[in-house]
A and B are shown apart, each in its own frame.
Chain A
């Protein structure tokens, strides 16, 4: 089973985001980036499937000039191969990413392509279904469970809906899946190992044409007023607890009052 995982980095939301002077993008000068959370679940599922049935896991990232750590982390977690795709001066939109990945994936053995169901910056849609449509492959998004048939020709997957309801599908391979969560928490990659692999690992690179765009025109980007609604309570934890307790009591919301 040859598994391909598409990975990308996104801004670290633990830090404050700022808008650039043109007002149409994030100010990326000091932006710290982290692996997109859902891609980590996709990698974990790929590694789990490979460990169960054998085969390879190849991780792909679009080369925006700073993906060595991302790909080295994939290798440290157990991926067999890392490939940098294309060369991008700017962060590509999802449509451009899908076209670039399509070229790269077509040149690799691929029974199953896994990627995160979404990323926090998917303005023009999610890469998984765009890639699948570009390549003419079947696709399922919001996948929470993947099982392979004994002969490796199909996968049984769960697609999650609201209220905890899931649909079970049988999917012909090769296919693309957008992973919502992994069965186990993503395995740990020691930082020392990642650092070492960044120096020593051989990463492949494939050239792809970079063209197109998304067909979207960004008019303005803004940070919405947060706390515009909440009345903020200041003070020590005890002072906060005191105020909250009286707010809750005033409204008769304590045990017995509302049941």
Chain B
């Protein structure tokens, strides 16, 4: 048992992902308060370049093996579970991504540690972890403790600033061979999206639509508003899933992160996955029929109304 705070390192294309840096920065603070070390837990192959990015950690525990070069749920879990089980850290932090979800749940069972998901804050209260989780699409906050005082947390993106996790330093490097391998899931390739007609990450004005748009035919209404504003149309996940707009227009966790000067969120409730992609926009205006929609928690201005009523009226005023 230790007072260490472990961070599962997620990496892709030779780069540590942003979410991992957010966790590393927080792990440093928590470990300092608990009297332990911030430990980066890294599975990979030929990982010197990655280790060099983890200066914010006090220690980097590396499991280096050709079979671990790319993330696979079974391979990484087999390599990392024995370490977590043996060392019994105070906390294991993972990003709330596909990688984090796969590994954290597996570790919870393998190491017999409880798991708290969708965390927006991880604190220590008298040395014992206190985690705030966001449930019901961001409509409810839950504060939880671990019965045994230690556990695993998957943390949503944006919960902590990324800069502290990019700090340089000279962590202790500890190299291990994998205690076990499991190749029942095999990595084949990464598929990147084809470039779209519009790069929404470069637009200054985004008119973004969600479920509230109702049907495909109504997309024309927001296209007109975007034209009047000299901006582009983007969307939340359901609109892209329905095929009403190309996937390249999707904002959020599984889409793109955008930071326009103006973000109009129309008929978007503001699930955490969406907020992750747009909360840093300069001016956020939300129109939604649900007065309790979480989007109003991040918007600067809001109106409880049907976008189908407001949009034509707004276009008329802005055009010409």
Spell out A's residues near B (CB within 8 Å). Answer: 11, 13-14, 16-17, 19, 26, 95, 98, 117-118, 120-126, 128-130, 132-134, 138-142, 156, 158-172, 175, 178, 180-181, 185, 214-234, 237-238, 240-242, 244-245, 247-249, 251, 253-259
Nearest opposing residue in chain B for A14, CB measure: B290
User: Are A214's CB and B114's CB within 8 A?
Assistant: yes
CB within 8 Å for A258 and B117 given contacts A232-B303, A251-B283? no
CB within 8 Å for A169 and B185 given contacts A227-B291, A241-B317? yes
Nearest opposing residue in chain A for B131, CB measure: A216
Docked complex Cα distance between A45 and B182 (Å): 26
Describe B's contact surface by its main secondary structure.
mixed
Docked complex Cα distance between A122 and B140 (Å): 12
Cβ contacts under 8 Å, A253 to chain B = 204-205, 229, 261-262, 283
Segment touching A, from B39-47, B168-176, B249-257:
B249-257
Docked complex Cα distance between A233 and B261 (Å): 20
> Closest CB-CB distance, A237 to chain B, in whole Å?
4
Cβ contacts under 8 Å, B135 to chain A = 120-123
CB within 8 Å for A140 and B73 given contacts A167-B187, A241-B310? yes
> Closest CB-CB distance, B71 to chain A, in whole Å?
7
User: Are B143's CB and A218's CB within 8 A?
Assistant: yes
10 smallest A-B Cβ distances: which pairs? Answer: A255-B230, A215-B114, A129-B105, A241-B313, A133-B109, A164-B193, A230-B302, A142-B98, A237-B309, A245-B317
Docked complex Cα distance between A98 and B108 (Å): 12
Known A120-B137, A161-B254, A215-B146; 12 more pairs at CB < 8 Å? A14-B290, A117-B101, A129-B106, A140-B102, A142-B97, A164-B250, A169-B185, A220-B143, A230-B297, A237-B313, A245-B317, A251-B283
Nearest opposing residue in chain A for B10, CB measure: A161
CB within 8 Å for A122 and B144 given contacts A230-B297, A230-B299? no
Instruction: From the candidates B101, B147, B248, name the one contacting A215 in the complex (CB within 8 A).
Output: B147
Cβ contacts under 8 Å, B242 to chain A = 185
> Closest CB-CB distance, B187 to chain A, in whole Å?
6
Docked complex Cα distance between A168 and B244 (Å): 25
CB within 8 Å for A169 and B187 given contacts A142-B98, A248-B262? yes
Instruction: From the candidates A13, A222, A244, name the one contacting B314 in the complex (CB within 8 A).
Output: A244
Q: Which size class do B's interface residues fall under?
A: 35 or more
Docked complex Cα distance between A172 and B186 (Å): 9
Nearest opposing residue in chain A for B98, CB measure: A142
User: Are A229's CB and B297's CB within 8 A?
Assistant: yes
CB within 8 Å for A26 and B140 given contacts A125-B154, A130-B108, A170-B186? yes
Instruction: From the candidates A13, A142, A216, name the one contacting B147 in the complex (CB within 8 A).
Output: A216
> Closest CB-CB distance, B90 to chain A, in whole Å?
15
User: Are B300's CB and A134's CB within 8 A?
Assistant: no
CB within 8 Å for A223 and B115 given contacts A162-B253, A165-B12, A172-B184? no
Instruction: From the candidates B73, B114, B147, B255, name the one contacting A163 in the complex (CB within 8 A).
Output: B255
CB within 8 Å for A240 and B305 given contacts A167-B187, A167-B189, A221-B140? yes
Docked complex Cα distance between A98 and B105 (Å): 11
Docked complex Cα distance between A106 and B66 (Å): 33
User: Are A221's CB and B98's CB within 8 A?
Assistant: no
B139, CB-defined interface residue at 8 Å: yes
B287, CB-defined interface residue at 8 Å: yes
B213, CB-defined interface residue at 8 Å: no
Nearest opposing residue in chain B for A157, CB measure: B185
User: Are A216's CB and B114's CB within 8 A?
Assistant: yes
Cβ contacts under 8 Å, B71 to chain A = 167
> Closest CB-CB distance, B30 to chain A, in whole Å?
18
User: Are A165's CB and B314's CB within 8 A?
Assistant: no
Instruction: From the candidates A130, A180, A224, name the one contacting B254 in the complex (CB within 8 A).
Output: A180
Docked complex Cα distance between A150 and B271 (Å): 39
CB within 8 Å for A13 and B144 given contacts A126-B101, A141-B98? no
Cβ contacts under 8 Å, A249 to chain B = 318
Docked complex Cα distance between A144 and B101 (Å): 15
Proximity string of chain B (93-104) to chain A, C-beta cutoff 8 Å, 1 when within and 0 when not: 000011101101
**Interface hits, B260-286 → A, CB 8 Å:** 261-262, 269, 283, 285-286
Docked complex Cα distance between A37 and B265 (Å): 22
Cβ contacts under 8 Å, B287 to chain A = 240
B292, CB-defined interface residue at 8 Å: yes
Cβ contacts under 8 Å, B105 to chain A = 125-126, 128-130, 132-133, 139
Nearest opposing residue in chain A for B311, CB measure: A241
